[in-house]
Chain A
Amino acid sequence: MSTRYLPSPLGLEVTDAVHQMAVEGTAGEERWSPAKLWAELASGGWTELADGDTPGADADVTLLDLCVMAEAWGRALVGLPLLSTLAARRWLAERPPAGTAITLVVPEWDRFLLPYPAQAALVLAGGGTAPVAGESTVDDHAPSLPLGRAGTAPGPLAPAGALRDYALLATAEAVGATDRALQDAVEYAKTRVQFGRPIGSFQAVKHTLADMHRDVELARSGVTWFSNDPAAMTGGAPYVLQLCASVVERAIQVYGGIGYTWECDLHWSLRHVTQAHRLVVAALAGSAS
């Protein structure tokens, strides 16, 4: 298969549609896990996007298309298991109905992580699914990426290929969460006035934002690279996710004091990226063992 540097036209269409649904779906009160949005995704067939003819094969949309879509999804910071469901369905021979939320058991050191423990009822198990077993405590550091933690496996471990695909989509999603912070910081720098001028006109701030833009672009290039060469994630994805975190950290600096408060949304992005780093590192280690 030839190298893909850019998403397909279909991938761009899908991205726009999913992004719009995500933005509208998270505008209400049920911010992190809006049931209405999930129903809409399922009825529109969006959870079946990655269903290829055979397990692990590309559907009409390519892995890179899915990544671009995942980035747009991440920009809305949604706590719904869309990406784990897409990654899992790629590896299923027989697929459950579109509305069934699926997650993956990810080994981490002496325990197990379960993304979206409260939102997904099934885990991927080889070529099929299994119900979630046992109890887990919830790590809700990032409400857009809740992780269950359990001492015994809450189901069979996901196959290596699925763990890798999920790590890829979770990385792309984190790039989206990062880009949101960058865009917010840019808008803030255009409107926040000090010394009689918008702070974004000062080079100290402008050049910080320029560097953040460069780093988001490089992170995006990383996702493009990994979608073509998933094995490269082992060394590359942790670097890219740290780069993302450093962008969000600088966004908080651009906001100044208000960026340090609960009222400002930036901490949700930083929480998401940090959580994604944990999940992706574990998933990659799990996919290698």
Chain B
Amino acid sequence: MPATSFADPAVDEFRREVTAWLTTAIPAEWRERRNDLTMDEEIEIRRVWDRQLFDAGYAGLSWPEQFGGRGLGVIEDFTFNDIAARMDAPEGLGRVGRLLAGPAIMHHGTPEMQARFLPAILKGEELWCQGFSEPGAGSDLASLGTRAVRDGDVYRIQGQKVWTTYAQFSDWCLLLARTGAAGSRSRGLSLMLVPMRQPGVEVRPLINITGTHEFNEVFFDGAETSTDLLVGAEDEGWAVSGTILTHERGVGFGAIALNQLHGYLRLFTEHCAAHAPAIAARLPEFVTRVELLRWQMMRSLEKMAGGDASPRSSAVLKVTWSEMVQEIVHLAAFGGCPEHTDLYRTRLLFHRASTIVSGTSEIQRNIIGERVLGLPREGSAKA
């Protein structure tokens, strides 16, 4: 049974279990040479980590038991991610499979699909990427133009995706494509599973501002997938994607962000404040604000665990942590701590992503305004 409160004694037991496992499971190489690993070495460790998670029973913590998961909930998910972030554990490469493709298949896929794909996702044997955003369809996802045309028992796919994290390692793509007429917006989209290793799929790296290679552009030029691999009904992919995107915005990111924030405050307190008056002056305020965020997160998680599964609280959390971490690295980078300038200026670049990924701050504020406060949509509400 999933816990509904952090006060549940089972959560303490779970915390001890996870801590004990992580203490021995995190590879020494990762622990000791984290910042000196080559990209290839890092990827290999993370690939193995997926398998380690599975073997120890942590791959599908909140997946139902019938699909090989532990049947636990958001409280355990957060607890695991929180401890893992605090102990600097690697992050598996199978994240998109576990958080997006898996839930999509569980909730909207056929029994055949579930039997074929879910075990390989849990074990990290097959890696997934998310084919949603396009150059012309970012925040306005419903305008996307990649087409999937039915031809007998296959769909033929034509178009371009972008921001496709780890497409270079992926076996499968969870693709959102237009099956309806051009201009059908959200009514003509379908969600389908597409094999990445086939002619007609080309992956080109897109190097981000810190100089690392996570994103790609993916070009589909006549690539095929079976019509059996449609998730949900044709032209109903929008609703299906909507339900699974709430997973992406959820618990793991929050736990990681909170630990990053605590990491900066620790560094400020232990080192920078003594050398940098500008940092010292604002440190107490940020200590208070990070603590407010932590309590907000815990309250939201207990509400979610109690069955209030609205995406609303996620939008509040996302705006808060993403902007706070940017404010903090800005202070850090320009605060004048001579010892950490190199680190902070890299982090200043890195955290620009926070307010853009998984729904920009502007989109999050629209969600809060329209879905929480009930304000009218822009342009569509003539008086």
A39 beta carbon closer than 8 Å to chain B = no
Check B296 against A210 for contact (C-beta < 8 Å).
Answer: no
Complexed CA–CA distance, A210 and B284 (Å): 26
- A224: contacting residue among B295, B366, B374, B375, CB under 8 A: B295
Check B378 against A210 for contact (C-beta < 8 Å).
Answer: no
Complexed CA–CA distance, A211 and B373 (Å): 11
A46 beta carbon closer than 8 Å to chain B = no
Check A193 against B378 for contact (C-beta < 8 Å).
Answer: no
Set of chain A residues within 8 Å of B313, measured between Cβ atoms: 217
Set of chain B residues within 8 Å of A235, measured between Cβ atoms: 284, 287-288
Complexed CA–CA distance, A239 and B379 (Å): 37
Complexed CA–CA distance, A193 and B383 (Å): 7
Check A214 against B291 for contact (C-beta < 8 Å).
Answer: no
- A207: contacting residue among B369, B374, B377, CB under 8 A: B369
Set of chain A residues within 8 Å of B214, measured between Cβ atoms: none
Residue of B whose beta carbon sits closest to that of A223: B295
Check A218 against B291 for contact (C-beta < 8 Å).
Answer: no
Residue of B whose beta carbon sits closest to that of A236: B288
Complexed CA–CA distance, A91 and B362 (Å): 48
The residues in A between 142 and 194 inclusive whose CB is less than 8 angstroms from any CB of B are 186, 189-190, 193
Check B373 against A209 for contact (C-beta < 8 Å).
Answer: yes
Give the number of residues in A that approach B within 8 Å (Cβ atoms). Answer: 36
A5-B295 CB under 8 A given contacts A198-B383, A235-B284: yes
A210-B376 CB under 8 A given contacts A225-B295, A239-B285: no
Give the number of residues in B that approach A within 8 Å (Cβ atoms). Answer: 41
Check B292 against A4 for contact (C-beta < 8 Å).
Answer: no
Closest beta carbon of chain B to A18's beta carbon, Å? 21
Q: Encode A200-236 as 1/0 by CB contact (under 8 A) with B.
A: 1111001101110110011111101100000010011
Check A210 against B320 for contact (C-beta < 8 Å).
Answer: no
Check A5 against B375 for contact (C-beta < 8 Å).
Answer: no
Q: Encode A6-33 as 1/0 by CB contact (under 8 A) with B.
A: 1000000000000000000000000000
The residues in A between 25 and 67 inclusive whose CB is less than 8 angstroms from any CB of B are none
Check B373 against A186 for contact (C-beta < 8 Å).
Answer: yes
Complexed CA–CA distance, A213 and B316 (Å): 8
The residues in B between 352 and 383 inclusive whose CB is less than 8 angstroms from any CB of A are 362, 364-366, 368-370, 372-383
Set of chain A residues within 8 Å of B5, measured between Cβ atoms: 5-6
B350 beta carbon closer than 8 Å to chain A = no
B150 beta carbon closer than 8 Å to chain A = no
Check B366 against A203 for contact (C-beta < 8 Å).
Answer: yes
Closest beta carbon of chain B to A240's beta carbon, Å? 8
Set of chain A residues within 8 Å of B291, measured between Cβ atoms: 225, 232, 236
Closest beta carbon of chain A to B171's beta carbon, Å? 39
B244 beta carbon closer than 8 Å to chain A = no
Set of chain A residues within 8 Å of B362, measured between Cβ atoms: 203, 207
Check A206 against B366 for contact (C-beta < 8 Å).
Answer: yes
Complexed CA–CA distance, A190 and B291 (Å): 33
B34 beta carbon closer than 8 Å to chain A = no
A141 beta carbon closer than 8 Å to chain B = no
The residues in B between 183 and 209 inclusive whose CB is less than 8 angstroms from any CB of A are none
Complexed CA–CA distance, A222 and B364 (Å): 22
Set of chain B residues within 8 Å of A200, measured between Cβ atoms: 369, 373, 375-376
Check A209 against B295 for contact (C-beta < 8 Å).
Answer: no
Check A222 against B374 for contact (C-beta < 8 Å).
Answer: no
Closest beta carbon of chain A to B373's beta carbon, Å? 5
Check B303 against A209 for contact (C-beta < 8 Å).
Answer: no
Set of chain A residues within 8 Å of B6, measured between Cβ atoms: 2-3, 5
Complexed CA–CA distance, A211 and B5 (Å): 28
User: 11 A–B contact pairs at CB < 8 A?
Assistant: A3-B6, A5-B299, A6-B306, A186-B373, A197-B381, A201-B377, A206-B369, A213-B316, A225-B292, A236-B292, A239-B289
User: What are the nearest 4 A-B pairs in CB distance?
Assistant: A206-B369, A210-B368, A221-B295, A2-B7
List 20 extra interface pairs beyond A186-B373, A201-B375, CB under 8 A: A5-B6, A5-B295, A5-B298, A190-B374, A193-B383, A196-B382, A197-B383, A198-B376, A198-B383, A200-B369, A201-B377, A201-B379, A201-B380, A203-B366, A206-B369, A207-B366, A213-B316, A235-B284, A239-B288, A240-B292
Interface residues of B (CB under 8 A from A): 5-7, 284-285, 287-289, 291-293, 295-296, 298-299, 302-303, 306, 313, 316, 319-320, 362, 364-366, 368-370, 372-383
